[in-house]
Structure 1
Amino acid sequence: MRNIAIIPARSGSKGLKNKNIRLLNGKPLISYTIEAAQKSGLFDEIFVSTDSIEYAKIAQEFGASVPFLRNKELATDNISSWDVVKDALLNYKKLGKEFDTVALLQPTSPLRKHYDIINGYDQMRRKNANAVVAVCEVDHSPLWCNTLPEDESLQNFIKEELIKSPRQLLPKYYRINGALYIVKTNYLMSTENIYSEKCFALVMAKENSIDIDDEMDFIIAEALMRSNLN
């Protein structure tokens, strides 16, 4: 089975400038994802999809492949990661390289470990899955969440039967953490929705699941890296 890891890293992040190559604990953010993919030992190709020559050089310094740059049309805010992945697979096919699975690894998940990737592929084999997507337990139950009216009244904000329920008795909820998506390539190229038949979850630890989007996330990630939690 031939596997490719695709790490999408376009330039021009609106939230944090050059977020994907910003130094985190002394190394470019993207390097942690490249190294996790390398350490897993699962990939025939580790490809960084970027529209930036600067990003490409940094990715190559850490051992990733960048045989072509992403088209500018695919480097805008309204393009999904799956559009980028499908385009990359088609470009690799033109180069004579085809793959059985693709792992989408977001560079904004630097605390994802190599064993998380290995566990994802193990889950795919166990379940004979078309797709495996990483999730983690949510910090706060959505049962304690609601919208607010214009007058900000909390009347009926929480269902009456939940008011006296101990937190420990509430059902566990999970969220997609963005750290890992593994999909069979034939399935991916034939669907617009991977969350259907034979798509399964990989439950990851919360401390491995941080998704860096703003300055506070950077601070938390650095703190976790320096602690015994990660």
Structure 2
Amino acid sequence: MKNIAIIPARGGSKRIPHKNIKHFLGKPIIAYSIEAAINSDLFDEIMVSTDDYEIAEVAKQHGARVPFLRSEENSDDFATLADVIDEVKRQYLEQGNLFDNICCILPTAPLLTVDNLKKGYDLLSNRNVDSARPVVRFSYPIQRALRLDGNKKIGMFNDEYKDCRSQDLEAAFHDAGQFYWMKFDIGLRGNNKFGFEIPETMVQDIDNEQDWVIAELKYKMINL
């Protein structure tokens, strides 16, 4: 089986300027994703899809390929991961390069582990699935979520659960935001999506400077 890792890293980050190559505990954060892909020995090709020459240079310095730059069409705030992956697929197919599977690895996932990459690949390989990804359990039952109106009055989204015990409610999960394994011919557009649970300590969404600090603390805790 031939596998390609696609790391999407455009240059237009606004909340954290140059987020994809900002230094995270001593090296560009994208380097962690590249190195995890390399160390997994799962991939025949590891490439970065970017519109930014500086990101491209950093990516190549850390072992990834940047065989072409991303189009302007797929470099704005409205382009989806599925759009970016489809563009990369078209470019490789035009060059006569065909793969069996894709793993889209996000560039700001320093808590990503080789072990979890392999778990995702095993799930994709051994089950009839279109895609596989890690998910994280919500720490509090979403069925008992609260809302605040303009006067700070509290109300429940679902009153039917107000008297339910937390342990009696179905667990809910959210995307870990680290990677997505998928069949090459289907990409992210398939409906048969599977997931496996990883702990909250191994996940951190990084949207602002506070998230960044928390991610560094988690990384240090995991790697003590």
Alignment correspondent of 1:78: 78
Alignment correspondent of 1:173: 172
TM-score (norm 2): 0.92
The 8 Å contact of residues 20 and 29 in structure 1, kept in 2 or not, is answered as yes
The 8 Å contact of residues 120 and 202 in structure 1, kept in 2 or not, is answered as yes
Deviation track 1:25-64 (CA, whole Å, cap 9, x = no partner) reads 0110100000111111111111100111110010001100
Structure 1 residues 111-130: aligned runs within 5 Å: 111-130=111-130
Distance 1:99 1:170, change over 3 A: same
Deviation at 1:149, TM superposition (A): 3.1
Distance 1:150 1:114, change over 3 A: same
Alpha-carbon separation, structure 2, partners of 1:121 and 1:155: 42
The 8 Å contact of residues 147 and 156 in structure 2, kept in 1 or not, is answered as no
Alignment correspondent of 2:109: 109
Task: Give the counterpart letter for 2:215 in structure 1.
Answer: A
The partner residue of 2:196 within 198, 202, 205 is 202
Distance 1:150 1:54, change over 3 A: same
Gaps of 5+ in 1: none
Task: Give the counterpart letter for 2:61 in structure 1.
Answer: E
Alpha-carbon separation, structure 1, partners of 2:209 and 2:158: 32
Deviation at 1:125, TM superposition (A): 2.0
Alpha-carbon separation, structure 2, partners of 1:156 and 1:145: 6
**DSSP 3-state at the match of 1:186:** coil
Gaps of 5+ in 2: none
The 8 Å contact of residues 52 and 69 in structure 2, kept in 1 or not, is answered as yes
| Segments of 4+ moved more than 6 angstroms | none
Task: Give the counterpart letter for 1:129 in structure 2.
Answer: V
The 8 Å contact of residues 207 and 229 in structure 1, kept in 2 or not, is answered as no
Structure 1 residues 4-43: aligned runs within 5 Å: 4-43=4-43
Deviation at 1:193, TM superposition (A): 3.5
Deviation at 1:116, TM superposition (A): 0.7
Deviation track 1:183-215 (CA, whole Å, cap 9, x = no partner) reads 101122xxx743x2x321122222222121111
Alpha-carbon separation, structure 1, partners of 2:39 and 2:189: 30
The 8 Å contact of residues 145 and 156 in structure 2, kept in 1 or not, is answered as no
Alpha-carbon separation, structure 1, partners of 2:147 and 2:161: 18
Alpha-carbon separation, structure 2, partners of 1:62 and 1:20: 13
TM-score (norm 1): 0.90
**DSSP 3-state at the match of 1:104:** strand
The 8 Å contact of residues 108 and 213 in structure 1, kept in 2 or not, is answered as no
* Identity in percent: 35
